[in-house]
Amino acid sequence: MKVNHSNNIRVRFAPSPTGELHLGSARTALFNYLFAKNNQGKFLLRIEDTDTERSQKVHIEQAINSIKWLGFKPDEEIVFQSRRSKIYKKYLNLLLTSGKAYRCFASKQELQLIREKTNSFQYNGLWRNRSDEEINEQLELGSPYTIRLKTPNEGHIVFDDLIYGKIRVSNSEIDDFIIRRSDGSPVYNFTNVVDDHDMSISHVIRGEDHISNTPKQLHIYQSLGFENPFFAHLPMILGEDKKKLSKRHGAESVESYRDKGFQSGPLINYLALLGWNPGTNEEIMDLTQLISKYDLQKVQKKSAVFDSKKFSWVSSKYLLKQDPNTILQSIRSLDPSWGGNKTEDFCMRVIDLMTPRCNFIGDIIKKSHYFFDYPKVYNVDDQKKVWKEKTAIILKDIMKLYEKVDCQDHQGLEVLFKEYIQSSGHGFGQVMKPMRLAICGSLTGPSLFNLMELIGIEDFLKRINIYKNKFNDD
Q: What is the CA radius of gyration of the chain?
A: 32
Q: Closest Cα partner for 148 from 115, 122, 109, 119?
A: 122
Compute CA 332 distance to the chain's CA centroid, rounded to the nearest angstrom.
23
| Beta carbons within 8 Å of 235's beta carbon, 6+ residues apart | 163, 208, 275, 299, 300, 301, 302, 303, 304
Give percent helix, percent strand, percent coil of the chain, each to the nearest 5. 50, 10, 35
Q: How far apart are CA 227 and CA 245, in angstroms?
A: 34
Catalytic residue flag (residue 247): yes
CA distance 225 to 94: 11
What distance in Å separates the CA atoms of residue 257 and residue 267, rounded to the nearest whole number? 9
Query: Would you tell me the crossing angle of helices 448-455 and 344-354 to the nearest 10 degrees?
Result: 170
Distance CA 166, CA 19 (A): 33
**Number of Cβ atoms within 10 Å of the Cβ of 240:** 13
List the one residue out of 435, 452, 446 whose CA is nearest residue 386.
435
415: CB partners within 8 A, 6+ apart: none
Beta partners for 149? 101
Contacts of 65 (CB under 8 A, 6+ apart): 255
Three-state DSSP at 56 gives coil
**Candidates 68, 73, 89, 247; catalytic one:** 247
Q: How many CB atoms lie within 10 A of CB 313?
A: 16
Let me know how many helices (H) and strands (E) the chain has, helices first.
Answer: 20, 12
Q: Hey, which residues does 170 pair with through a beta bridge?
A: 156
Q: What residues are labeled active site? A: 247
